[in-house]
Amino acid sequence: MENILKKLLNKPWIVIAVTIIISALLFMQMKQNSRMETDLDKYMPQDHPAFVYSDQAEEWFGINDGIIVAIENKNGIFNSATLDTLKQLTKRLQKMDEIEKADVTSLYTADNIIGTEEGMDVKAFYKRVPKSEEKLNELKHNVENNEMTFGRLVSYDETVTVIIAEIRDDVFTQEFYEEIHALADSYQTDDIKIHIAGRPIVEGTMALLGPADMMKMVPIVLLVITLVLFLTLRSVKSTLLTMAVVFFSVVWAFGLMATVNIPIYAVSTMIPVMLIAIGVADGIHLYSHLQLFLRENPDASKKEATLDMLQHMWKPVVMTSITTAVGFISLLTSQVYPIKYFGIFTAFGVLMAMVFSLVLIPAGIMIFGLPKVKKSKKDESNMETNLAYGFAAKILKRKSISIYVTAAIIILSIVGMQKIWINSSFLDKFEKDSEIVLTDKFINDHFGGTTTLNLILDSEGKKDVFKNPEPLKLVEKMQNQLENDLEVVGNSFTLTDYTKRMNKVLNADKEEFNVIPDSRDSIAQYLLLYEMSGDPENLNKVVDYDYAKLNVTFQLKSDNSKAINSAIAIIDSYEKDFEKQGISMNYAGSGYKGLIFTDLILEGQIMSLILSLIIVIILLSLMFKNYKIGLIGAVPITITALISFGIMGFLDIPLNTTTALLSSIAIGIGIDYAVHFIEQYRTNALKSDDMLLVAQKTMAHSGRAISYNAIVVIAGFLVLLFSVFPPNRELGALVSLNMFTSFVGTVTVMLVLLKVSNIYFKKTKS
């Protein structure tokens, strides 16, 4: 290894040329082949039983997420202008390519079935926009008397009416989003306001906004990091070369991704984040060593200096990179493909950063010369050394403080972790006062809810079960309990609602018949009649062709996991009752899939965290040929992860796809700090028996580099606090926090443990 590096040192131009050529090729691949995956369904493991069932159910019942277009008129909606807007918008939506005509529902498309003394009347609420007072009042009356419409398509206060347009899978694009908004805007007047909401909009906005915000922020992060890096390294050349390492490793990771034709997922946008945080470390440590060497040997040639740097530093650089890479590779245990890819390509990027650090930085020094060491800095460097020496001495003198404080923090963190909750909500990722959240709240205030949970009742192939009164009555009881007991459940809808409506209509619209009839023949005949006179398609959305499967849709006012779980808890309490009737229960729909998906991510995350911790301990034990070192080296990582989760618990930051992934960064960074520190400690211990001096020297060397590393990355990531997208802000805050705790953990409690364990000082116990 060392020999190869030495040989490469003689051909710096070739090294740089080859790197640039390959990078250029990969960059071209990236430009040509990279594509962003915005369809959230693609993120889910397709073969997971819950997803398989949900996908099937979505197919059976045509369950699609709907865009909700709400038309608001404070003076009431029953006037010609508003009704005309409703008609025009409905028609325009029906004509859009992304929307099936039959999948647009509004007061304009709905059937009104009304009972009369002698029979039954099936009519559209209106076709031509009513103009006269009399006709408008008739429409108003019809809406108010139809419980399948009132409160569902028209709000109870009659100031809002909605159009629900279900969109097909895979069609949400930036253009479509803009088209919908432009369409809505074009119909706004002084009186009529149009709001757009619904899960596709939320998902789409998030899929577009998150990465877009990241792309805006990353250059600023890079700029700040470059600046702070310059302030610490005090050399333009060193700064640029270190950043070049980061840049090339990112290009190679994404280039490889494009070459093997894997799309960029939302989590992939975290790869540069990881590589920036980890990639600068190698450079900082190399240059830090170089500076210290030059301080002691001001007259050394650039080749001597570089050789010394490589000789001393290649091992820790390789060790840190390999352990970090293995930490990321442990993400392969996840069931979620985007996370597997995230793990693989980050690991690849980390290894490339290692190669570039060991090859490109020396080549750069050979070509551009050594970074200048200014004489005037002598005092400052003495001050630095004194600070490091003093700090190390204090830490070792009061080692019990470190131990107790650490123990206290661990206990506190564990307490905090109890409060952690998982959230699969998309809306919670937006600002509380953002347009999207406010619109959602507006619609939730006026209607059943923007989030749907589908319960699929399945008689396991037994036909015509759901024409029987018993199961339908049980379903109705369940619907009532959810609607009454849970604030968050606004509405529910299934075959029972049709049956009750028909029963009422056919019995002269008398309210006492708004119940499920007692005989199966009645139900069958009502349904036949509904099919014959209404739109039979409507029934297909609630019951399958054989009346063997039922789809119950619950409308929730929040997509927050706590809300969905509270509904599921009540529904599950009916499982036994349904089982007695030979009916099984399953869930479907995007809200439920999101819930399962988040669980999967976390499960995988915790698994891989534990796994990587074990691997890291083993690797460290092997590298340093001492299992105690393995355990000690894992301490900063463990503390970092614990604090990270503990603080999330205390600050009520839920675990979600972004925050969960951050535990990986704790491992990646924590291990870097620990390995560099331990390696330096070992090297110093070989030369000296004075334990304090060894600690002080290590602190002045590795401790210094680690602090630079921490300062640089923390400064960079604090920039993310100014992001407009809350998850990116959380990311910035938590990465900074992780860097800080890793750093502090390494130079305090780990140093104390190194001393206490007496490793490398076996012969001469102090």
Partner 1 sequence: MKKLQITSVLIAIIFAIGFIPEVSGQSLTGEQIVEKAYNRATGDDQTSDLTMTLTNKSGNQRIRKIKQFTKDLGEVEKSIMFFLTPADVKNTSFMSWSYDSDQNDDQWIYLPALKKTKRISSDSKSDYFMGSDFTYDDLGDRKLEDDTHKLLREETIDGKACYVVESVSKDEDYMYIKTITWIIKDNFIGLKKEFYDEDEDLLKILSIKKYEEISGLLIITNSEMKNVQKNHKTSMVLNNVQINTSISVSKFTERMMMRGL
Write the CB contacts of 412 (distance below 8 Å, at least 6 apart in sequence).
646
Cα→Cα distances 286→307, 407, 672, 699, Å: 11, 33, 13, 16
The stretch near partner 1 (CB under 8 A) out of 117-125, 131-139, 312-320, 339-347 is: 117-125
The stretch near partner 1 (CB under 8 A) out of 276-284, 300-308, 338-346, 534-542 is: 534-542
CB of 545 to partner 1, least distance (A): 4
Among 33, 434, 481, 525, binds partner 1 (CB under 8 A): 525
d(CA 236, CA 7): 26
Write the CB contacts of 560 (distance below 8 Å, at least 6 apart in sequence).
423, 425, 427, 428
The stretch near partner 1 (CB under 8 A) out of 477-485, 541-549, 626-634, 724-732 is: 541-549
- Give yes or no for residue 528 binding partner 1 (CB under 8 A): yes
Q: Cβ closer to partner 1: 426 or 547?
A: 547
- Residue with the two structure tokens 């604030």: 487
Among 296, 379, 433, 521, binds partner 1 (CB under 8 A): 521
User: How many CB atoms are closer than 10 A to CB 39?
Assistant: 15
Question: Nearest CA to 334 among 634, 635, 663, 617?
Answer: 663
Among 121, 185, 435, 575, binds partner 1 (CB under 8 A): 121
The two three-digit tokens of residue 114, written as one number: 């009304």
Write the CB contacts of 40 (distance below 8 Å, at least 6 apart in sequence).
203, 207, 590, 594
CB of 81 to partner 1, least distance (A): 20
DSSP alpha helix (H) spans, 234-336: 236-259, 270-296, 302-329
Window 276-305: contact mask with partner 1 (x via CB under 8 A): ------------------------------
- Give yes or no for residue 522 binding partner 1 (CB under 8 A): yes
- Give yes or no for residue 175 binding partner 1 (CB under 8 A): no
- Find out whether 644 and 738 touch, Cβ atoms under 8 Å: yes
Element containing residue 736 per DSSP (H, E):
helix 726-745
What burial letters (b/e) apply to 548-571, b meaning 16+ CB within 10 Å?
Answer: bbbbbbbbbbbbbbebbebbbeeb
- Give yes or no for residue 538 binding partner 1 (CB under 8 A): no
d(CA 166, CA 100): 7
Half-sphere exposure of 540 toward its Cβ, with a 13 Å CA cutoff? 12
The stretch near partner 1 (CB under 8 A) out of 4-12, 218-226, 251-259, 530-538 is: 530-538
Q: Cβ closer to partner 1: 203 or 458?
A: 458
- Give yes or no for residue 383 binding partner 1 (CB under 8 A): no
Q: Cβ closer to partner 1: 11 or 95?
A: 95
The stretch near partner 1 (CB under 8 A) out of 95-103, 377-385, 391-399, 758-766 is: 95-103
Q: Cβ closer to partner 1: 81 or 120?
A: 120
Among 316, 362, 471, 517, binds partner 1 (CB under 8 A): 517
How large is the C-alpha radius of gyration of the chain?
32
The stretch near partner 1 (CB under 8 A) out of 98-106, 167-175, 342-350, 426-434 is: 98-106
CB of 509 to partner 1, least distance (A): 12
d(CA 501, CA 530): 10
CB of 57 to partner 1, least distance (A): 12
d(CA 120, CA 97): 36
d(CA 349, CA 329): 12
- Give yes or no for residue 537 binding partner 1 (CB under 8 A): yes
Q: Cβ closer to partner 1: 549 or 697?
A: 549
d(CA 517, CA 503): 7
d(CA 122, CA 138): 15
Window 545-584: contact mask with partner 1 (x via CB under 8 A): xx--------------------------------------
Question: Nearest CA to 257 among 338, 335, 318, 325?
Answer: 338
CB of 521 to partner 1, least distance (A): 4
- Find out whether 570 and 481 touch, Cβ atoms under 8 Å: yes
- Give yes or no for residue 219 binding partner 1 (CB under 8 A): no
Among 5, 122, 403, 515, binds partner 1 (CB under 8 A): 122
- Residue with the two structure tokens 């192939």: 461
d(CA 29, CA 37): 17
Q: Cβ closer to partner 1: 240 or 529?
A: 529
- Give yes or no for residue 544 binding partner 1 (CB under 8 A): yes
- Give yes or no for residue 134 binding partner 1 (CB under 8 A): no
- Give yes or no for residue 514 binding partner 1 (CB under 8 A): no
What burial letters (b/e) apply to 359-369, b meaning 16+ CB within 10 Å?
Answer: bbbbbbbbeee
Among 17, 124, 407, 756, binds partner 1 (CB under 8 A): 124
The stretch near partner 1 (CB under 8 A) out of 79-87, 169-177, 293-301, 512-520 is: 512-520
Q: Cβ closer to partner 1: 299 or 511?
A: 511
- Give yes or no for residue 13 binding partner 1 (CB under 8 A): no
Total residues in contact with partner 1, by rule CB under 8 A: 38
Considering only residues 453 to 472 of the shown chain, the ones binding partner 1 according to CB under 8 A are 464, 467
d(CA 566, CA 653): 20
CB of 120 to partner 1, least distance (A): 5
The two three-digit tokens of residue 333, written as one number: 């245990």
- Give yes or no for residue 92 binding partner 1 (CB under 8 A): no
Q: How many residues does the chain have?
A: 766
Considering only residues 592 to 631 of the shown chain, the ones binding partner 1 according to CB under 8 A are none
What burial letters (b/e) apply to 273-304, b meaning 16+ CB within 10 Å?
Answer: bbbbbbbbbbbbbbbbbbbbbbeeeeebebee
Rounded-to-10 torsion of CA 582, 585, 588, 594 = -160
- Read off φ and ψ for residue 613, nearest 5 degrees: -60, -45
CB of 95 to partner 1, least distance (A): 6
The stretch near partner 1 (CB under 8 A) out of 475-483, 515-523, 592-600, 694-702 is: 515-523
Rounded to a whole number of angstroms, the distance between the first and last alpha carbons of the chain is 37
CB of 455 to partner 1, least distance (A): 20
The two three-digit tokens of residue 697, written as one number: 């020297």
- Give yes or no for residue 762 binding partner 1 (CB under 8 A): no
Write the CB contacts of 575 (distance below 8 Å, at least 6 apart in sequence).
585
- Give yes or no for residue 59 binding partner 1 (CB under 8 A): yes
CB of 460 to partner 1, least distance (A): 16
- Give yes or no for residue 520 binding partner 1 (CB under 8 A): yes
The two three-digit tokens of residue 91, written as one number: 């028609």
The stretch near partner 1 (CB under 8 A) out of 184-192, 282-290, 513-521, 550-558 is: 513-521
The stretch near partner 1 (CB under 8 A) out of 93-101, 400-408, 642-650, 656-664 is: 93-101
CB of 126 to partner 1, least distance (A): 11
- Give yes or no for residue 531 binding partner 1 (CB under 8 A): yes
The stretch near partner 1 (CB under 8 A) out of 290-298, 482-490, 525-533, 663-671 is: 525-533
Amino acid at 282: D
Largest CA distance in the chain: 110
The stretch near partner 1 (CB under 8 A) out of 224-232, 536-544, 564-572, 688-696 is: 536-544
Local structure of residue 430 (DSSP, 8 states): S
Q: Cβ closer to partner 1: 199 or 500?
A: 500
CA of residue 391 relative to chain centroid, distance: 39
Residues near partner 1 (CB under 8 A):
59-60, 95, 100-102, 116, 118-124, 127, 464, 467, 506, 517, 519-522, 524-526, 528-529, 531-533, 535-537, 540, 544-546
